[in-house]
Amino acid sequence: MSAALSGAVDLSGLKARAEATSKAKAPAPASPDGAPAGDFVIEVTEATFQAEVVERSQQVPVIVDLWAEWCGPCKQLSPVLERLAQAANGAWILAKVDVDANPRIAQLFGVQSIPTVVAIAGGQPVEAFQGAQPEPQIKEWLAALLDALRDRLPGISAAEQGGEAEPVPEPEDQRFVVAEEAFENGDFDAATAAYQKILDEEPANEEAKAALAQVRFLARAESADPSVIVRADTSPDDIDAQLAAADVELANQQPEKAFARLLDVIRRTSGSDRDKARTHLVDLFGLFPTEDPLVGKARRDLASALF
């Protein structure tokens, strides 16, 4: 019953648009058929998506229900999801998104039709289905999802045991707040310095390492001349142009092109040029979750190209 999402889904795409009030919980919404929603059913907007979906999904799965008032099948599916969310007692959260009011969220998931239901875990989409489904199938889908995620998300077992699904969050680390504010303001130098300071104090801080890699990549990509792709295509031996072109392609949400470009360089070069392209490609891999299928395929292609 799962459906593939179209293209790579980057859930950080809405973060910059979130307002300062986005961390406040939205009021309980009404469902499409007018039934009141409860504690485990929330209404999500573009401004609250980061806090209510991405951040919540670090503890329990968040099931995103993309619906619209005019959608007949949505009115069949949404009440079923709401009832199941209440019965789950916080083992998962239902996040309802009116696609007419929040088109960027629908675009983020590449939604072709509604209703579309997407499961988010650990900040990433993991499963999806489209169309109204019978309740037994939905229950089966949810049970399999929870079984697969129980070891990764602590809130599932806590809720099932009658505990708190979402513990009170620890106070925000102000060092990260400073770095994130600089990043969102486009001050890459300040963001780089802030994340580097965290790593100087805590060399093993994986969150800071990942964030620093993202900032450095975006700084490179934004400073690159968009015409570098043409230059790289017409000058295949210009290694620096190939690396910069791959950055631009990745920044343009074309990871397959970026990976293919660098793999081609690796296959047809040797020595320092080959090492330079390989190092750059591995750095780009680090910008993605380790289980990303595109990265998995590219890693296998890299191994073939090298050996």
pLDDT tens for the 307 residues of the chain, in order: 655 444 445 555 455 444 333 333 333 333 343 333 347 999 999 888 988 999 999 999 999 999 999 988 999 999 999 999 999 988 999 999 999 999 989 888 888 889 999 999 988 999 999 988 889 899 999 999 999 998 889 888 888 776 444 454 556 788 888 988 988 888 989 999 999 999 999 988 888 888 888 888 888 888 888 889 999 999 999 999 999 999 988 888 888 999 999 999 999 998 999 999 999 999 888 888 778 888 889 899 999 888 7
Question: What CATH number is associated with residue 205?
Answer: 1.25.40
Residue 121 lies inside a defined structural domain of this protein: yes
Q: How far apart are CA 144 and CA 138, in angstroms?
A: 10
Count: domains in the chain: 2
Q: State residue 162's pLDDT score.
A: 66
Residue 198, pLDDT score: 92
> So what's the pLDDT on residue 239?
92
Residue 29 belongs to some domain of the structure:
yes
Considering the domain architecture, whether residues 153 and 126 belong to the same structural domain is answered as yes
Same domain, 293 and 153: no
Shared domain for 154 and 191, answered yes or no, is: no
* 136 and 24 within one domain: yes
CA dist 293 and 194 (Å) reads: 31
What residues are labeled active site? 71, 74
Same domain assignment for residues 155 and 187: no
Any idea which residue has 């040797």 for tokens? 270
pLDDT of residue 19: 39
Tell me the angle at which helices 206-223 and 188-201 cross, rounded to the nearest 10 degrees. Answer: 160
Does residue 153 sit in the same domain as residue 183? no
pTM over 0.75: no
Same domain, 154 and 188: no
- Domain holding 139, by residue range, is 11-160
Provide CB contacts within 8 A for 234, sequence distance 6+. none
